[in-house]
Amino acid sequence: MSQTFHRFSELFAQLGLPADEQGISHFLATHSPLPHDVALPDAPFWTTAQATFLREELLKDADWAEMIDQLNIALRSADSAD
């Protein structure tokens, strides 16, 4: 079975968010730090469709899981926009 590897910007595009460097930095600065007691898909800033995508891809350990994990780490860091 082949596995597809995605870039961070592709995850943002998949989520319907600005996927350029400035858009990603702005999103991370706006939504960080995400409290550790809030699961990434449960964060209040996602639409229902975005939250469902994140939850399903993590549960399936799908191709997107690695990038979703990176997004989770980035949002938990107070310095993620630096």
pLDDT tens, position by position, 3-54: 555 688 999 999 999 999 999 999 999 999 999 999 999 999 999 999 999 9
Q: Residue 61's pLDDT is what?
A: 87
Q: Residue 2's pLDDT is what?
A: 42
Q: Residue 7's pLDDT is what?
A: 86
Q: Residue 48's pLDDT is what?
A: 98
Q: Residue 52's pLDDT is what?
A: 97
66-to-10, 30, 72 alpha-carbon distances in Å: 12, 22, 10
75 pLDDT higher than 60:
yes
Read off the pTM: 0.84
Q: Residue 81's pLDDT is what?
A: 43
List domains and CATH numbers for the chain.
8-76 (1.10.10.1130)
CA pseudo-torsion sign 17, 79, 31, 53: positive
